[in-house]
Amino acid sequence: MELKNYTYLLLLLFTIAGPLVMSFEKQIQYYRKLKYILPAILITAAFFLIWDIRFTEANIWSFNFENTIGIVYKGLPLEEWLFFIVIPYACIFIYEVTKVYLKKYEYPNVFVAFSLLLIVAFAMISYFFRHQAYTFLTFLFSAVFLTYTVFRNRFKPHMTKFYFAYFISIVPFALVNGLLNSLDVFVCNKTQILNIKILNFPVEDFGYLFLMLLMVTTIYETLKESKYY
């Protein structure tokens, strides 16, 4: 097995290394929240893995197995299964960091208003580009879930830190995703996207990350606020 076979796996290890090391940091104490973090990740991962498997079967996107370790299940390399554990874990970590170090910055009304604009924008994109499967579903799901989040109201106190975490997450996500696409580990069917690329990956990926982070964060906060455990 050559070094290139470990490309995807090494990128995932690089992504999660920081959050794992810092999980025991005194102010954050991320490890103490694992009983809420792990179920939130697994629920979110289940949704995205079903999506991933269906899109792979429909040839909306595909994988270059030459840059993976070669373990494949349901058409997805092992690294892709791990992706939906590693990325949400890292994103919730960033979210928790913003709650600690940016505690005094709260703009719930501003971000609720911003969310309403995003809902309209997402809905319009999904409608006008409904013939591109990745574009359509990414922005449709984002519009629907963001609408639920905003009008549910209980998430409003967390809205500021969610957006802070999203904007910060874009940087490492763009670097990792850009490398994956540059090395052709992940290939998207050009007929199913807007074909607008940033750092060599589809612009839809920003919406994909937004939906993933929103979903895992809202589930995480819901579990924390519940009285079940």
pLDDT for res 229: 65
Please, what is the end-to-end C-alpha distance for the chain in angstroms?
A: 45
Strand-pair category, 76-77 with 72-73: antiparallel
Q: Which residues constitute the domain of residue 20?
A: 3-225
In 3-state terms, what secondary structure has residue 127? helix
Q: Taken in order 89, 158, 203, 170, is the CA torsion positive or negative?
A: negative
Task: Provide the number of structural domains found in the chain.
Answer: 1
- What pTM was estimated for this model as a whole? 0.94
Closest CA to 51 of 116, 142, 127, 128: 142
pLDDT for res 204: 95
pLDDT for res 84: 95
Q: How far apart are CA 223 and CA 14, in angstroms?
A: 28
Q: Could you report the average pLDDT of every consecutive run of 10 residues in the chain (229 residues)?
A: 80 90 84 93 97 95 88 94 95 94 92 97 96 96 96 88 96 87 84 88 94 97 81
